[in-house]
Structure 1
């Protein structure tokens, strides 16, 4: 057997027997450090190794012989839990002293204070922060939790209803939340700019999407946009557009500008002045911005 595969007792026995067979005189560090004893002529390291191996074997045998109730009784005393009553089984003690928490759809216990969603078999849903659980019978529990503007009890049937965790808010490359079933466009990888359907939103760096051609891939949310990313072809085509075509405002008055972002018109965003001239300059600034972002993403011009 290889040394690395030996148990502690096997390793100690091997070391002691090997020293005895070869007539080697080992260092006394083991005796002094492990046992706080001083060596003498009649106390050898081999004897202490064998004694230690016997001690380990005895301790393991004791652990194996102990049943779950004995181990739980030791744990209860150590951690301040109620002890076992005379003749009480482990199951009865657990039923008396422990509290069974409801579990979510991943079979993970829900802790007090957790945000949860209670989905009913009828199709309805309530959400809030879990505060208390009252067991009515073996299958029906009452969950008390605080919602947006209320606190009340909800009837929860473990056989039919489901507890779920609220989906985490994951922001895409454009700063908008990514939700399941919507179409997004990767900004890196082999599917740049291709429409992909969101299958699952697990966390910020784990968004599962179906990709063209079959299969699915994992993306960090910051690499998924709600609109197709720019291409050189699209920028080149937009350079040839009139200002009104670029901003898609030919049928609108300036006061009704359709290209506002957070309430700011193109000329206001780029501080390029007012009127036709201001929006024309804003178009140039916007094209330059898009070109810089494309070059940065694709490793183009500095």
Structure 2
């Protein structure tokens, strides 16, 4: 799979097999030329469509031939050569305009599809980001990976720092599963015990992005509070009771 590249609208000369422009690029080229000069005559515009106005009896005949030229190009573009294939997802589904595709953890929406001698190109957008995704005809487009959510429902991304809800240990997320789950072997253990359970289960529900309270944090906060002379005895006692309760529940589990 190729990479998402910064959009360059000058690249819009989309080529089909045999070095022919796709119909959308062909029309945009004509529109661009007319818009830039602003002085092209009807005869010059007709010529861009391969029509000689001198041989047409009326403007209506000329316009009819322009529309015919456009529909012919559309029909020709639909008839793909034998070695050219419309891009498909990994499950065989055809990629359509407006579909969401996945690439390196990002979700992009398809706004245009182009085919050239080397493969397919998807022009995509994502929250103002405009780019393209390229692949060969034997490659398949990926569906967006489902979100992996922690115990609080917060999305988990590769590189995130998370804490285990059962013992407060810190972990770094090294990878996530394509099915929207997280396995224990996909996080750093940092010397901490990582909880495993038999069968298929989701470790993502055992971690949180918000660092849980611990005896270490409780002690650090108490030391700081003593230093500044602002010890909230009620808060510290409440935290200690909660930690002791959690410790007992963990011992019973």
- TM-score for the superposition, normalised by structure 1: 0.37
Structure index of larger Rg: 1
- TM-score for the superposition, normalised by structure 2: 0.43
- Higher relative CO (Cα under 8 Å, sequence separation at least 6) belongs to 2
